[in-house]
Amino acid sequence: ENRPIPEPGPHEVLLQIHSVGICGSDVHYWQHGRIGDFVVKDPMVLGHEASGTVVKVGSGVTHLKPGDRVSIEPGVPREMDEFCKTGRYNLSPAIFFCATPPDDGNLCRYYKHSASYCYKLPDNVTFEEGALIEPLSVGIHACKRAGVTLGSKVFVSGSGPIGLVNVLVAKMMGAAAVVITDLSASRLQKAKEVGADFTIQVKNETPQEVASKVESLLGCMPEITVECTGVQACIQAGIYATRSGGTLVLVGLGPEMVTVPLVNAAVREVDIRGIFRYCNTWPVAIALLASKQINVKPLVTHRFPLEKALEAFETTKRGEGVKIMLKCDPTDHNP
């Protein structure tokens, strides 16, 4: 709260932050101080799902002006390397990313960011929707990597926020049927609300049993599986469930080493694809939200003012609700 308000550089903008969603990774850094090779060594500001209002623009910024409402893409390449040249800038090892050590995030009142990675929101897209573009982008990137198309049968594993955005995007891209699994009945209910055709509450079934339930509900094995938990048993179920010649996309991140039935996938030509965040998704997401092709509003279940950030993080840690949103603008009294 007492940090000085930063001055934007020539190609940066200073933003007054409005809405910030809390992600599981934020909670993980808070609780464990690391995710894989990313280790928190110094105090770090969390938050990477944000929207806000432009307060000041750098001398070289022409596409934004003070007063513009924007959504922030948190990953900014630091140099034009081979990945940036081919449009896959998310894979650049030199990328800046909000709230990934040592880079500070945007859960604060004022924040400066590269102007090229701030996208103007149309009048009919709210700040909250603008903050939800970040998780929505994961769904867009995953479903594109998976090749979801007209008539696809899709299995989504895990009904947290990322599982739910994958349901939304898969249905919008033409999936004929989507089945989703989770441990939590309330999360599966939310999945139904956002468009899942079938739900499976997993209790203590083996991965093979989960796969056979998926097949019986869909009437066939799905061509596409989107795995959003990172849990070993779920990845195994994903391989067993996916139709021969189909695609399994790994979105959830779990332990570094996982035991999976790889030969089963190999001999059935199941393509296993990874995703790392997203790239080139913000313009697509904004167009979808502005045209009302996708409705992300039901994802937000709790709202807290910035002063109650700790309470918001505790609520997320307990697994309550779906997406928890922090309101950072003290003058805003809208829900």
At 333 the pLDDT is: 54
* Residues of each domain in the chain carrying CATH 3.90.180.10: 12-120+296-327
Cis preceding linkage at 102, omega within 30:
yes
Distance CA 171, CA 151 (A): 9
Cβ partners under 8 Å of residue 25, min gap 6: 35, 48, 99
pLDDT in tens, 32-81: 999 988 999 999 999 999 999 999 999 999 999 999 999 999 999 999 99
At 175 the pLDDT is: 98
Distance CA 91, CA 82 (A): 10
| pTM check: above 0.85 | yes
For CA atoms 314, 316, 318, 321, give the dihedral sign: positive
Contact between residue 36 and residue 253 where contact means Cβ atoms under 8 Å apart: yes
Contact between residue 138 and residue 168 where contact means Cβ atoms under 8 Å apart: no
User: Which residues does the chain have with pLDDT short of 70?
Assistant: 1-2, 332-335
Distance CA 54, CA 105 (A): 17
Pick the CATH number of 12-120+296-327 from 3.40.50.300, 3.90.180.10, 3.40.50.2300, 2.40.110.10: 3.90.180.10
Cα separations (Å) of 97 from 37, 151, 223, 314?
14, 36, 33, 24
Distance CA 136, CA 151 (A): 21
Distance CA 207, CA 241 (A): 9
Q: Does domain 139-274 have CATH number 3.40.50.720?
A: yes
Distance CA 67, CA 286 (A): 18
Cα separations (Å) of 290 from 130, 284, 285, 296?
11, 10, 9, 12
At 330 the pLDDT is: 73
DSSP string for 178-228: EEEEES-HHHHHHHHHTT-SEEEE-SS--HHHHHHHHHHHHTS--SEEEE-
* Residues of each domain in the chain carrying CATH 3.40.50.720: 139-274
**Residue 81, token pair as written in the block:** 């390397």
